[in-house]
Structure 1
Amino acid sequence: MKKGDMKLATYTRTLMALGVISAGAVVNAEESAVPLLTGVASTTLSGYVDTSAIWLPGPGGANNLPGRSFDGADKQNGFNLNVVSLALEKPLDETDWAAGYRVQLLFGPDANTLGSLSSLGTASGDFAVKNAYVALRAPVGSGLTLKVGVWDTIMGYEVFESGNNPNYSRSYGYFIEPIIHTGVLASYDFTEWLSVSAGVADGGGLNSINFRSGVDSVLSYVGSIVLTAPEECGWISGGKLYLGAMDSGIQGAKDMVNWFAGLTIPTPVEGLSVGAAYDYRANGLFDSSYENATGLYVVYQATDKCQLSGRAEYATGSAGAYGYTGPEAVQLLGLTGTVACQIWDHTLSRLEVRWDHDLNSRGEFLNGNANNAFSVALNVIYQF
């Protein structure tokens, strides 16, 4: 699975094998080529099947789990099909005027949670479009690349594809970020250590495709800067600093605005890397509301097939943030530990333990019966 260009990927290992679809069986060599079919020869097919089993002990189940994305109450205490992903892609080649595309389709419960159906859709039906864009390169300087259509957000430390994250469950910061946009994204590498992206998309900051706010002038504007430490920086070389911002247009009297900063760096200890992320969203719930989340990450590649990951989080926000039901400001604490192994070919197996704590002591977890939620998850993903 190929991630968005500006997402953090240093902590992950690609497990997939890409298959090439040949056009030879479709197009007769003696006939003149049909332009649509000549592009199929370089198209790749990839995807994954993501499953889980989660146990969250406590009285009455877990009807409220503030800050959880794609592993909420509906997946606790049982076995789950999370999502099936299928992607067709023709990557850009090295020519000046290269063109390509990517289409990624989702099937299963997580497709419903993403909720990307356009305004013409009448039901979720366990289906969603996550990517559907045309990729273009223009010979401007070192090469300006464009994505036109539906593309992954360029903000955030973690991504939708859980197998590309250090941990199975997503962070509090992920909860307040967008996932996809419909619009145009431009990216340019000024040097080996400086990359910039900027895009304009439908307004609202929502994941719905072709979303219309009812106000023609409302659009979303998103941008990011990535700084990479060069080789002469020694053991810190390859470390990255990510900065991102998005204005999603008017939600009430004020625009909804997201800010993101992320850092990932290697350490002098072989196989050990650390990271940090900060997310802030203003006016996302109502005018003058706020949500912010800080996460610290530690990843240790113990062997070629085994990785240990830890995450510590602290999140605050206005009343109602992160799905919190209490009338006062939110304070949440989270600790997550994950062991990931590749025992079988193309298969990622993970065991995760997570603890969430309501710092307001309102008993926000387990149907209002507890200040803590302790869960154990098994995640198995086959990638092809």
Structure 2
Amino acid sequence: MRHLFFLFLLLGFGHLSSAQEAPAPAEAHSASVSLSGYISSSLNLGSGSGPYPYALSPNNRNSFSLDVVALSLRQPLDEWLFDSGFRLDLWLGPDATLLETGNDDTIHIRQSFFDLRIPLFDPRVTGSAQSLDLRFGVFDSPLGYESLDRNSINPHHTRSWGFTIEPTVHTGLLAMYPGVDALVNGESNFLFSLGIANSIDPRINGVPTNPNRKSLLSGFTWLVPDSFGLLSGSAFSAGYINGRTLSGADTVQNLYFAAGLPVISPKWDFALTYDSRMINGEGNDDSVWGAYMKYQLSDKTSLNLRGEVFQEGSRLFSSESAAEQSDGYSLTSTFDYRLSENVISRAEWRWDHTEARVNEHHDTQSWYLSLIYEF
């Protein structure tokens, strides 16, 4: 179970959200098309993010919000011979515009891709299922600890500063070896991803000023086997992206590391992260160090903590003024209670501190109550 928890938090979410059950024989029928999704609503009891927003931050204060209605239509890869599948995710509602994948304010494409499996070995002959899986279309970035989604896949309602400086969605091609679902199925203890995309911006079909300059995507996740002693049960992930924004002429590099480490009690989970965004020019690099901890109080109840320290070199977000550029740190605490099989309730407190005054304050505190219905 700990390996599975670290998988969801250390591996790119686009991979695991398409993961399947154990490999099926060639004679089995293809996986059926399924519809799933969630509805997220929240109450913000603190101040809005104002001029200093982290990714997906709410702008309203002391108000109720319909965050998003998410719909996902998919047919996953099912066989370890030649196979194909697809996924279409839509966001409806006010938060859809936060994806920045299009211009419409109410409906956005969250993801839209199809997968093609090219088998390298026949598992019926070799006993080993390995393939090269190709993903075409609009998909999640192969790096990052958190996801765009507002459902249970994320431990917190708000997003981290590390997530804020990461690319989120790409339009392009991603190759995965030895199979997008190999980790979850236990067929492999590693997954390597390599891809190419139009840009590092989420705008679908968007291209930089020079359309011949593409963005390079790469990611790697390793589950430490039992033979490594004290490190067994750990999970390590790394990612690197090199590309351009739609309007910029300079190259932007993103570097990501994460480690999920075993602790004494199975009720605890602990992980460390590092994000860096490097832009040409002296003093333009942004860095964020993060620590995540989860304590499972009961089958239905858990406590999640997130601490971050960030050093700002360029801009954490586009609307930031020069006077607001500042180093700082952040702490988030989230109490999670599952009301039923489909309903999750959360109470969250967040505190952000900046060395420079932002919106006339060094400290910003906010409280959130949220309900998520998953189907």
RMSD of Structure 2 on Structure 1 (CA)? 2.7
The one of 109, 129, 134 equivalent to 2:114 is: 134
Deviation at 1:351, TM superposition (A): 0.4
Deviation at 1:238, TM superposition (A): 3.3
- State the distance in 2 between where 1:167 and 1:81 align: 17
Deviation at 1:329, TM superposition (A): 4.6
Q: Contact 1:228 / 1:238 at 8 angstroms: preserved in 2?
A: yes
Partner of 1:146: 134
- State the distance in 2 between where 1:229 and 1:312 align: 25
Partner of 1:85: 70
Q: Contact 2:10 / 2:258 at 8 angstroms: preserved in 1?
A: no
Partner of 1:277: 273
1:193–1:326 CA distance, 2 compared to 1 (3 A)? same
Deviation at 1:6, TM superposition (A): 7.2
1:46 aligns with 2:36: yes
After TM superposition, list the pairs within 5 Å mapping 1:227-242 onto structure 2.
227-233=222-228, 236-242=231-237
Rg larger in 1 or in 2? 1
- State the distance in 1 between where 2:95 and 2:8 align: 20
- Any idea what SS the aligned residue of 1:224 has? strand
1:249–1:369 CA distance, 2 compared to 1 (3 A)? closer
Deviation at 1:90, TM superposition (A): 0.4
1:216–1:287 CA distance, 2 compared to 1 (3 A)? farther
* Alpha-carbon displacement from aligned partner over 1:182-240 (angstroms, at most 9, x marks no partner): 1111110397222100110112x100000122313111111011111113345753321
1:185 aligns with 2:174: yes
1:292–1:9 CA distance, 2 compared to 1 (3 A)? closer
The one of 143, 153, 175 equivalent to 1:164 is: 153
The one-letter code of the counterpart of 2:364 is A
The one-letter code of the counterpart of 1:276 is L
Partner of 1:291: 286
The one of 231, 246, 261 equivalent to 2:241 is: 246
1:307 aligns with 2:302: yes
Deviation at 1:62, TM superposition (A): 5.1
Partner of 1:32: none
The one of 179, 198, 209 equivalent to 2:204 is: 209
After TM superposition, list the pairs within 5 Å mapping 1:40-79 onto structure 2.
42-56=32-46, 63-66=50-53, 68-72=54-58, 74-79=59-64
Q: Contact 1:235 / 1:267 at 8 angstroms: preserved in 2?
A: no
Partner of 2:344: 348
1:334 aligns with 2:330: yes
- State the distance in 2 between where 1:194 and 1:264 align: 14
TM-score by length of 2: 0.83
1:194–1:344 CA distance, 2 compared to 1 (3 A)? closer
- Any idea what SS the aligned residue of 2:163 has? helix
* Alpha-carbon displacement from aligned partner over 1:59-103 (angstroms, at most 9, x marks no partner): xx652234x22123x233211111111011101012410111000
- State the distance in 2 between where 1:329 and 1:370 align: 13
Q: Contact 2:164 / 2:316 at 8 angstroms: preserved in 1?
A: no
Partner of 1:383: 374
Structure 2 residue ranges without an equivalent (≥5): 18-28, 122-129, 180-186
- State the distance in 2 between where 1:238 and 1:99 align: 32
- State the distance in 1 between where 2:329 and 2:292 align: 14
Partner of 2:353: 357
> Percent identity, aligned pairs only?
29
Q: Contact 1:153 / 1:178 at 8 angstroms: preserved in 2?
A: yes
1:83–1:165 CA distance, 2 compared to 1 (3 A)? same
